Structure 1
Amino acid sequence: MSNTKPTRHRGVLAPVLTPFHDDFEPDAEAFVEHCKSLIASDVGLAIFGTNSEANSLSLAEKIELIDTLVAAKIDPARVMSGTGSCSLKEAVALTRHSVDAGIGSVLMLPPFFFKNVSEDGVFAFYSEVIEAVGDMRLAVYLYHIPALSGVSITPALIERLRKRYPATIAGVKDSTGDWENTRMLLTTFSDDGFDVFPASEALLLDALKLGAAGCISGTANVNPVMLSTLYRMAHEPVSAHLHENAVSIRKAFQQVPMIPAMKAAIALRTGRESWKNVRPPLVPYKTVDMRATVALLEAGERTLMALQSHAPG
């Protein structure tokens, strides 16, 4: 068992979109390129999240993509690996591989096929993974997205897990989109040993006032500089204007299926048509015109540049 302390994250992270070739195989080259561009924009990498189409990827594909990032010299301290699975053995295998690759932080869904499972069952799942990996470098961020998983990460469950594994249970991503739930998590677990990440930049400023660690937002894939600047300048007068711009862009993507829309926007901006590819059951935006949405992104970037050019210092 390693004695190295786990990595803790701050700031904005993107649940990294997974590019595919036309045969639906992951495009490792485009994946690394996208990851490097996000890090260059000061956005961390939450690989294998919902927007990554993680549950459409096999265990072997995820392991290969992790190895590709390591080979490309991506700093593992900037990465959070999504390792949740309905299969206990697969969750253990991917978590162990992530930690061995230097990615100690993992974002872990509860097992999500069976519904109305007991708190004891969900606790046992997380406990078995932590015990099986058995590494002090491991930091588990609990992934609360009940609208898709059908399984809630309750305050009582968080308390039980923290009591049993105080050095390992690092925080939670709250993907309810409900400010009252995020506020409750922030006020209930207000000490500095537990990090709360809302899943939307719309909640970022209010959440930071209560001690949030940042946010993990899908639209950080397409609007990274704006969001990283919003986090960095959250306490500056300009933050309200930045927030307004960031939320307007998020709303534009929320009006349509977000994953195909973000991929189509990246395809338009990079000229790489294969970025439009999504794995079934998702379907790509082949006929929808994304130019107006991309123009909104570019207008936001111009606004940001203008604000920065007039900033003191």
Structure 2
Amino acid sequence: MSNPDPTRHRGIFAPVLTPFYDNLEPDIEAFVAHCKLLLASDVGLAIFGTNSEASSLSFGEKIELIDALIAAGIDPARIMSGTGSCSLKETIALTRHSIDAGVTSVLMLPPFFYKNVSEDGVFAFYSAVVEAVGDRRLGVYLYHIPALSGVPVTPTLIERLRKRYPSTILGVKDSTGDWENTRTLLTLFGNDGFDVFPASEALLLDALALGGAGCISATANLNPAVLSALYRMGPGGAPNALRDAAFAVRRAFQQLPMIPAMKAVKALRTGHRGWKNVRPPLTGLSGVNVEPLVSLLEAAEETTSVPAGALPASAGR
């Protein structure tokens, strides 16, 4: 399958948080506003990732959210659509819809319910999606998060897929948090037109030094200007104050259930209480004062000359 001009990505991407009303229906207006805020800081949109609560969203809801972004005038070239699921047909259908909407890059989980499946089986799944979609514009970023999926995207699997679909398999998000794994992927594939994204800003500068494409980080939802500046300045130019501030924010959120914590902070900063809502089986943050997290974010913003409190109350809707 040939794809002479695939959409490739560089920089910082946020696995976009999904806001819900109190009845747990997606708040589309707040979702679009949040996406616009991220883009204003030059942070791309990785919709339907882990931190988006993607596995708690229905197929129809994902379609509706994609269409809402496009209707709002958001550039589809700034979006990666998370289309992987346990259902082959649903993965194919969501991938097709994304491409039809102009979102040609997808971040695709392997099928994750059955564990201890063979590499041949995972290869067959990805191959079936690429063949069934049958669109030269398709660019697939593989999503390696074995701690949650239980199904690894191994270097040998990547090599096989790239050999079969060299213009379609564009990169990988490595969510192991293990620098040695990220370094291995960069060493094997990073100099061969394959985009490697670690999932944490803590690994960003080291990855960039070896040819990494950027990072897809949960905390980019709340710290977009800082991470964008860290990426632009790179391993040789980022001042210690900027690095330390970014890493301090990451460490603080990692000490809490990250999705509820990020949503609680978003609710506090915007004044839109609905941002606190998460879908079961997740539960909202309880008994935790998130004001120190807000203070950390404001201190980090000051290192990039972004005014403290850069998220106005109106930005949440």
TM-score per shorter chain, which class? over 0.9
Instruction: Say which SS state the counterpart of residue 304 (structure 2) adopts.
Output: helix
Check if 1:137 corresponds to 2:137: yes
Counterpart amino acid of residue 191 in structure 1: N
* Residues 228-237 or 269-278, more deviating: 228-237
Q: 1:241: which partner in 2? A: 241
Tell me the percent identity. 73
Q: Which whole-Å CA distance do the structure 2 matches of 1:306 and 1:54 have between them?
A: 31
Q: Who is 2:315 aligned against? A: none
After superposing the two structures, state which structure 1 stretch, 290-299 or 180-189, moved more: 290-299
**Does the 8 Å CA contact 1:7/1:105 hold for their aligned counterparts?**
yes
Matched, 1:186 2:193: no
- Larger CA deviation: 156-165 vs 279-288: 279-288
Distance change in 2, residues 1:298/1:102 (3 Å): same
Match of 2:153 in 1: 153
Matches within 5 A, 1:222-237: 222-237=222-237
2:45 aligned with 1:57, yes or no?
A: no
Q: Unpaired runs of 5+ in structure 1?
A: 308-313
Amino acid at match of 1:78: R
Q: 1:30 maps to which residue?
A: 30
**Matching residue of 2:220:** 220
Supply the distance in 1 between the matched residues of 2:73 and 2:304 (Cα, whole angstroms).
30
Displacement after TM superposition at 1:192 (Å): 4.1
| Deviates further, 190-199 or 275-284 | 190-199
1:229-280 CA-partner distances (Å, limit 9, x unpaired)? 0000114444433111101000010000000000000000000000000000
What root-mean-square deviation, in Å, do the aligned CA atoms of Structure 1 and Structure 2 show? 1.5
Whole-Å separation in 1 of the counterparts to 2:2 and 2:162: 20
Alignment of 1:1-313 (within 5 A): 5-305=5-305
Shift of 1:299: 1.1
Partner of 1:310: none
How far did 1:303 drift?
Answer: 2.4
Letter of the structure 2 residue corresponding to residue 15 of structure 1: P
Name the CA distance, whole Å, in 1 between partners of 2:288 and 2:26: 23
Query: Is the CA contact (8 Å cut-off) linking 1:276 and 1:286 kept in structure 2?
Result: no
Report Cα offsets for 1:49-82 as digits up to 9, x if no partner: 0000000000000001000001000000000000
- Quote the Cα distance in structure 2 between the aligned partners of 1:238 and 1:247: 13
The alignment of Structure 1 onto Structure 2 pairs a total of residues equal to 307
Query: Hey, what's the Cα distance between the residues in 2 that align with 1:239 and 1:175?
Result: 26
| Deviations 1:197-224, CA, capped at 9 Å, x for gaps | 0000000000000000000000000000
* TM-score, with structure 1 as normaliser: 0.95
Distance across 2 between alignment mates of 1:44 and 1:3: 22
DSSP-derived class of the 2:143 partner? strand
Letter in 2 for 1:10: R
SS in 2 for 1:285: coil
